[in-house]
Structure 1
Amino acid sequence: MARTIEIMDTTLRDGEQTSGVSFTASEKLTLAKLLLDELKVDRIEIASARVSEGEFNAVKQITDWAIENNCIAKIEVLTFVDGGTSIDWMKKAGAKVQNLLAKGSLNHLTHQLKKTPEQHFSEIRNVIDLGNEAGIDTNVYLEDWSNGMRNSEDYVFQFLDFLAEQPIKRILLPDTLGVITHTETFDFLDKIIKRYPYVHFDFHGHNDYDLGVANVMEAVKAGCHGLHLTVNGMGERAGNAPLASAIAVINDFLPEVTTSVNESSLYKVSKLVSAFTGFGIPANKPIVGDNVFTQTAGIHADGDSKHNLYFSDLMPERFGRKRKYALGKMSGKANIQKNLQELGLTLNNDELKKVTARIIELGDKKERVTKEDLPYIISDVLDSSSFQQKVFIKSYVLTHAKGLQPSTTLSMEVDGKTFEENAQGDGQFDAFMNALNKVYKRLKVKLPALVDYAVRIPPGSNSDALCETMITWKTDKNDFVTTGLDSDQTVSAIKATEKMLNII
């Protein structure tokens, strides 16, 4: 049978050490509930003792909720070797599990505390005893443990010999500075776990060399009993080993172990943490980034339609997500077909070629094209093919400056002849129309009257979305509508006007 690895999420404590991040009490309570009830991690580290009044209030709210819901043993707080001050703080806050921060390297002990191992161990024993008297369970962090193993292994084992005899629940081994390699992670933990087979060890990895997930894998292979992870890899400096990636790796590559984590909630929790912190998720971040389940190249979309050639075990549905097919200059017909299928639209081959060409053209201009833009692009392309183009707006300069009247300089071609005009107006498009009227007065052609002008963007789009402008024109005989499509509103109106000129 697969052995179960405990997952301790420390987003609310270590993750909050991300520069510029501070959760409110209500945000901490919301995330604590979500992490335990929906994501189903085994434990959460929610705060450091003695930090602030706000931190105390947050811990009190969480512990009150946890007591009501019989999960107070899953709530952990970082404490310090301070003669019992942290214990008093915990008693008032209602917390029942302390993660006691001690010195895991001789370097830290000697130069920061300036104490002997015996002095440090005696003070630690005192805090453990005070915790037990108060009904508080103790786990012990060996701060800078990884450097301790590199530079002062004898001290680390002296410390572990001492802790193995103490009434504690777990020993927590942090790569505090994120400096060890995957091979060191395995070697260090393998040696320790074999020496202390009945002690529970957690591995706490940081990500300074981007080795966090690799080190998690090796820690599990070495036999560790628990892992410390954070949502979105939040944490000090480069952050901690990221929860989503670590869980996916364990589930897919380490069949000998299992966790309690609900994969399908990883993305939801990731987005909420991002919203609370204001720290965006990189688009290419594994599992939770916007782009990680997006196929861009047309050949990949084509392969997905032919026996799922570009699928892997990392399926988006596992994480409550869907595969997307990007639209842009790399798009082939297969990408567009995939998006059309989602919208319930069909095109014949000729129409599909025209739409594909237009999307590639927009992508070359670095314009962002979304699935929601497709109906507008189709309308624009099919509308443009309904007439033979004889009028071309070749070039224009639109100016708008505060305190000055907008103006337009226009160059256009009508039946092979080039015309240039300049005019002012109440706005850029009005100035453009005034310049256009000058050209058509020279041609002795009366232009239709503009009777309606409407602009829209796809629902849910951003300010960089493609913009569709629909203009209704009135002649002596009838009314008709033309549309233009561009990421710039004025340019889309000019394109709609160019269509009108060709129609008349």
Structure 2
Amino acid sequence: MLGDLTPTIKIYDTTLRDGTQGEGVSFSAEDKVKIALRLDEMGFHYIEGGWPGSNPKDMEFFELIKQYPLKQAVVAAFGSTCRPGVPAHQDTNLKRLVESGVKLATIFGKAWDFHVTKALNTTLEENLRMVRDSVAYLKSQGLKVFFDAEHFFDGFKANPDYALAVLQAAAGAGADAVVLCDTNGGSLPFEVQQAVSRVVRQLPGVPVGIHAHNDGELAVANTIMAVQAGATQVQGTVNGLGERCGNANLCSVIPNLAFKLGYQTIPRENLVYLTELSRFVYEVANLNPVANQPFVGESAFAHKGGIHVSALMKETGTYEHLAPELVGNQRRVLMSELSGLSNLLYKYKELHLDKNSPEGRQVLEQLKNMEHRGYQFEAAEGSLELMLRKAVNGYREPFQLESMRLILEMREQQPIYSEAVIKLRVGEELVHTAAEGNGPVNALDNALRKALETIYPRVADLRLLDYKVRVLEEKAGTEALVRVLIETGDGKKTWGTVGVSTNIIEASWQALADSMAYGLLEEQKLTVTNTKK
């Protein structure tokens, strides 16, 4: 820990600009406002809203965000230096930055001589003029200015004197910070540390930032090394969104700086909302969360091996580098063929399993045998708990299937007709009903609900959220074993159930019946006190 004398590392988020350059990522102006407000609530220092000179949507964002008084964050507009041969005060893009109404402009310029002569097709001196004049013009308009030195690390390796001269041109013109960009994402941590250290020495008093891309999967490491070398501003995106392989992931950078190195970043008390922020941005971006994402991913603190869980029961630090609650995440214990009795003991404490319980070991063996046959309980904890309750807790099923018949009728140029007829035993009552559906599984779902709703009103609150089928023996063709996973929710929580069979209808019924039975556990109080069979 570095203690109270450690400087505050300013967090500069570029999700709304650089993040949108990632494949499959698109935000509306309203989406950007939602994310910006959440970042402000979290205590981020700067939010880069977009490039007002590039598209109308970004300009719309800058107009919309003016309606919201931000608590902490300063909104930045992004752009480039003036073009070769064009005076800064006549450059259209620079004028758009001023017109956006922001107080902070971040502009990029070339720091690699190769790019200056080949991409810009101009001279090294003209590039320095462009940097100086652009910064000076924006400062004359009353804006705070950050200068992003594009391709800095590649430029520093090729021609360090020129790369440093670009920074000096920006700083000399009044830039409030110079940001070193690993634009191609290929630098190594020791290279970043050496370069940043030299910049900090040669530009005393000038705040230095780091903007790393993840093409070598080192963006987070490079960012941390830059801070260790003296950088005081960190640029990145939530969840590492960005072009190609993405940007430095702030959901990893921030907790590493805060918890591992003791730096001040966003307010410490807000770090408990980091997981929520991650999932919120994924949701707005219409992207599936990355399960194994460090710190905030669903699997970040998931434990599967029996030895691991046994140790965790004694001391969580044995297999966790950080308490998940610090970042708003939670510990999860998974069940599979790799599990030991410790997993069961930890996961189902309320069932009061004893470590020497023959019932528990029986269930564990049953679990391993079922997974060998194709079942998978990591995403089907509802089915697992029902199986466990049947073995150790005197569980009574809320219904039993007496018979089921499916009717499918296909006629030329007409939709396929599907009907399910089922007969259930609910306690002493026999319920016989039928329902149509959009396919056989939907018809079966509708018939089951219809049969249960009059007896169990809670069934109306249960919603099927996801239905997945996986073929387990591809070479067996249509005779293959299939696994059906169903996710169900009641508006408060969700649970998964599983079924396996060579018949997809039977597998679907197993998962569907378990999903309803699990949803009825609480209302019907179907558990009884521990009774050993």
Counterparts of 2:407 and 2:432 in 1: how far apart (Å)? Answer: 23
Quote the residue 2:92 is aligned against: 85
Matches within 5 A, 1:209-358: 209-255=216-262, 257-261=263-267, 262-308=270-316, 310-341=318-349, 344-347=350-353, 349-358=357-366
Please provide the CA RMSD for this pair: 3.3
Counterparts of 2:243 and 2:172 in 1: how far apart (Å)? Answer: 32
Return 105-114 or 279-288, whichever deviates more.
279-288
Shift of 1:309: 5.8
Shift of 1:460: 7.3
Q: For 2:105, what is the secondary structure of its paired residue? A: strand
Shift of 1:300: 1.4
Q: Is the 8 A contact 2:131 2:169 kept in 1?
A: no
Counterparts of 1:485 and 1:18 in 2: how far apart (Å)? Answer: 35
Over 3 Å counting, the alpha-carbon distance change for 1:494 and 1:122 in structure 2 is closer
Over 3 Å counting, the alpha-carbon distance change for 1:299 and 1:132 in structure 2 is same
Counterparts of 1:367 and 1:123 in 2: how far apart (Å)? Answer: 61
One-letter amino acid matched to 1:281: P
Q: Per-residue CA shift, 1:413-446, capped at 9, x if unaligned?
A: xxxxxxxxxxxxx97998xx9xxxxxxxxxxxxx
TM-score by length of 1: 0.76
Q: For 1:290, what is the secondary structure of its paired residue? A: coil
Over 3 Å counting, the alpha-carbon distance change for 1:382 and 1:191 in structure 2 is closer
Q: For 1:4, what is the secondary structure of its paired residue? A: coil
Over 3 Å counting, the alpha-carbon distance change for 1:102 and 1:338 in structure 2 is same
Is 1:123 the equivalent of 2:130?
A: yes
One-letter amino acid matched to 2:139: N
Quote the residue 1:437 is aligned against: none
One-letter amino acid matched to 1:196: L
Q: Structure 1: state its 5+ residue gaps.
A: 387-397, 405-425, 434-447, 469-483, 497-504
Is 1:376 the equivalent of 2:386?
A: yes
Q: Per-residue CA shift, 1:13-57, capped at 9, x if unaligned?
A: 1111102211111111111111122x2111111101212111110
Q: Is the 8 A contact 1:9 1:44 kept in 2?
A: yes
Counterparts of 1:150 and 1:173 in 2: how far apart (Å)? Answer: 13
Q: Is the 8 A contact 1:142 1:173 kept in 2?
A: yes
Larger Rg over CA atoms: 1
1:490 aligned residue (499, 506, 509): 506
One-letter amino acid matched to 1:359: L
Shift of 1:177: 0.3
Q: Is the 8 A contact 2:182 2:212 kept in 1?
A: yes
Over 3 Å counting, the alpha-carbon distance change for 1:282 and 1:35 in structure 2 is same
Q: Is the 8 A contact 1:213 1:241 kept in 2?
A: yes
Over 3 Å counting, the alpha-carbon distance change for 1:358 and 1:110 in structure 2 is same
Quote the residue 2:13 is aligned against: 9
Counterparts of 2:393 and 2:420 in 1: how far apart (Å)? Answer: 25
Q: Is the 8 A contact 2:77 2:104 kept in 1?
A: yes
Shift of 1:198: 1.0
Q: Is the 8 A contact 1:429 1:494 kept in 2?
A: no
Q: For 1:258, what is the secondary structure of its paired residue? A: coil
Counterparts of 2:256 and 2:57 in 1: how far apart (Å)? Answer: 36
Q: Structure 2: state its 5+ residue gaps.
A: 83-87, 397-404, 412-417, 434-447, 453-458, 469-483, 488-496, 514-533
Quote the residue 1:105 is aligned against: 112
TM-score by length of 2: 0.72
Is 1:21 the equivalent of 2:31?
A: no
Counterparts of 2:326 and 2:409 in 1: how far apart (Å)? Answer: 53
